[in-house]
Chain A
């Protein structure tokens, strides 16, 4: 017997700023900083932009070049969110035969496939494959040598 569940998609909780030093600390008239001012003068926080649900967000390093057309290059950092239910069109981190791979999840006809962003690699049909979605890629970070 399966119990009912409260809700299926998982809306992220309201964002609460991750701890990091304040850009400016202003003392109130009394000389003590007021806690309410913590949100004033805070610099933009990339975590706030990229990490919607910290508890479920993991970073991974990319190896290989088969996803270049989707803008994912060797050495990039993936921001992977496990709280998202994978849908076709998502870039996913999947476990296939015990290996961790990153591909685009697609339906071709009515069948599910893991597709590469590189025409040299054929889509992998998921039928008859031991495959589990580990998480959904929300963004990719590419750092240039400067």
Chain B
């Protein structure tokens, strides 16, 4: 079985751990550079505030004290994400971060009651140990675990934990209630095409003939059908849900502690991630870098750090993304550990076309932006025509002076000695 642990309104929840008075209030987190809403509490969602809303449109509510807007505090979110992962790792050697706030956890094949109890314990411990509320979905495949997690989050009868078995009436009822668009990897266009065929719910799709689906649509959709039937066939790296985040990671052929090798790997992952961003016309706001030692080698010291570096502005340019990734790697790298895996995640993606121009923009910057765009297009074309890695970027620009507007950023409670929370006696 595989579990998906998803943090509820993660950025806002991180803020609330240290500012309990924000509990129950409408809270939003804004990006530092372009001032858009990138995370919302349930209360803010209920007021109809959409993701990406520019802060100035909400200024009146802020002035009236009706809502609270905070600048993003990626240092805090990165640290809290690592803590959540660490709590999960006490239970399973198979924890794979899927985004900053979602992690897959491999469950051994326990009986149903034990699985349920373990899932409940994860739910409770993450909440207690880190202060972050989560939902837990457990199922035989990643696709079903995603749906189980949705059920855990949205249906009160589950109280935050849903274990879904491959077969049974409960599974059928849940899948019948699930719209196709909510199935992992089924996009809007597919939904329309499938609807014509009379396939409208997750259950309908599960009942379809996988081979016929492959002929008519794709191998990817065939895999989804099999996953809905309970047969695991999607690995994390194929997972297609790139709208929100892009992850590129790989295990090394052998364990390595060489900084040079790690830098190479991170460079490749960052560059590949940036290419994917450009393919789908997105910009990223932040870069997460992680390393992992081999948890099964208990004879070796263990260290699996991660860090989030915010970009100076939302971007799809390989150069700042690479620079941020290398900066992150330098911050977390320690000698004496042999790493099994390194990866890069691009976070808080925004549609390139919908992006707001910054107030600081000048015509010169506009020209520069266009030139950067052409350079990246040329890079992608060369790599596309002549093979991946034909053109690679070298050492990132040193000491990029990044001035962030972060007037409303909360203290970095867990990563800066000078900014610790205060406890009154």
Contacts and interface: CB of A to CB of B under 8 A. Distances in A.
Interface of A: 1-7, 10, 13, 16-17, 19-22, 33, 35-36, 38-39, 53-56, 58-67, 72, 74, 77-78, 80, 82-83, 93, 95, 98-103, 116, 132, 134
Contacts of B338: 35
28 contacts: A4-B116, A4-B120, A5-B120, A5-B124, A6-B118, A10-B125, A20-B334, A35-B300, A36-B299, A54-B83, A54-B86, A55-B90, A55-B130, A56-B87, A56-B128, A56-B129, A58-B413, A60-B422, A62-B425, A63-B422, A64-B425, A82-B129, A83-B128, A95-B20, A98-B21, A101-B425, A116-B425, A134-B131
Given A21-B334, A60-B423, A62-B423, 18 more contacts: A2-B159, A10-B129, A13-B90, A19-B334, A19-B336, A38-B301, A39-B301, A55-B84, A56-B83, A59-B420, A61-B423, A62-B425, A63-B423, A64-B424, A64-B425, A77-B420, A83-B125, A98-B20
Contacts of A66: 425
Is the interface on chain B under 10, 10 to 19, 20 to 34, or 35 or more residues?
35 or more
Contacts of B425: 62-67, 72, 74, 101-103, 116
A100 B118 CA distance: 31
B265 to A, nearest CB: 19
A143 B216 CA distance: 71
A3 B163 CA distance: 12
B5 to A, nearest CB: 14
Interface of B: 20-21, 23, 82-84, 86-87, 90, 113, 116-121, 124-125, 128-131, 159, 161, 257, 299-303, 305, 334-338, 413-414, 417, 420-425
A104 B20 CA distance: 20
Contacts of B124: 5
Nearest to B303: A19
A61 B423 CA distance: 6
A85 to B, nearest CB: 8
8 tightest Cβ-Cβ pairs between the two chains A and B: A55-B86, A56-B129, A64-B425, A98-B21, A3-B120, A19-B334, A67-B425, A66-B425
A80 B413 CA distance: 13
A22 B336 contact: yes
B14 to A, nearest CB: 12
Contacts of A65: 425
Q: Give the interface centre of B23, B118, B125 by most chain A CB atoms within 10 Å.
A: B125
B92 to A, nearest CB: 12
Nearest to B302: A16
Contacts of B131: 82, 134
Nearest to A6: B121
A134 B54 CA distance: 34
B335 to A, nearest CB: 7
B100 to A, nearest CB: 16
A4 B423 CA distance: 34
Given A22-B335, A102-B425, A4 B117 contact: yes
Given A3-B117, A6-B118, A58 B421 contact: yes
B424 A101 contact: yes
A67 B424 CA distance: 9
A80 B414 CA distance: 12
Nearest to B87: A55
Interface centre among B128, B336, B414, B421 (most CB of A within 10 A): B336
A77 B421 CA distance: 10
Nearest to A78: B423
Contacts of B21: 98-99
Nearest to B157: A1
A3 B130 contact: no
A120 B13 CA distance: 37
Contacts of A39: 301
A59 to B, nearest CB: 5
Contacts of B130: 55-56, 82
Nearest to B114: A6
A5 B117 contact: yes
A17 B301 contact: yes
A36 B413 CA distance: 35
A60 B420 contact: yes
Nearest to A137: B423
